[in-house]
Amino acid sequence: MCLAIPGKIVSLEGERGVADFMGVEREVVLTFVPQAKRGDYVLVHAGFAIEVLDRAEAEKTLAVWRELLRRDVAG
């Protein structure tokens, strides 16, 4: 029910936009993500974007995990 699918914003106008879900385009409401820009990945739940995916944070998390595991194994 709380499933949210990442889609890439291909166009937007005000609080409405169109997102690309792996090749399928569908209208998305952007009321909750005023910071969203064209090209951003948003998590979409029941037609509404609930958050913008933070790519830098995603990369950082992976790097932190790798470091954590390397250190733990070494330690």
Partner 1 sequence: MSFYAETWRGNVSLYRYRDRAVAHDVLARLKAMDLHLRLMHVCGTHQDTLSRHGLDVLLDACGVQVRQGPGCPVCVTTAKEFEEAAVLAEAGKTVLTFGDVARVPGRRGSLLNLRGEGHDVRVVYSVNDAVALARRETKDMVFMAAGFETTAPTTAAVALTGLPANFTVLSCHRYLPPALNALLAMGATQVDGIIEPGHVSAIIGLKPYEGLSAQYGIPQVVAGFEPLDLLMAVYMLAQQIQRGDATVENEYTRVVRYEGNLRALDAMRRVFVPSDVEWRGFPVIPHSGMAMKPPFEAWDARKVWADDLQRVDDLVEETPGCQCGAVLRGVIEAPNCPLFGTTCTPIHPAGPCMVSVEGSCHIAYKYPQGRALRAT
Residue ranges in contact with partner 1 by CB under 8 A: 1-4, 6, 8, 20, 22-23, 29, 31-34, 41, 43, 45-48, 50-51, 53-55, 57-62, 65-66, 69, 72-73
Determine the Cα–Cα distance for residues 38 and 10; give it in Å rounded to an integer: 6
CB of 6 to partner 1, least distance (A): 6
CA distances in angstroms from 14 to 11, 43, 44, listed in the order given:
10, 18, 17
CB of 41 to partner 1, least distance (A): 6
Determine the Cα–Cα distance for residues 67 and 7; give it in Å rounded to an integer: 30
CB of 16 to partner 1, least distance (A): 10
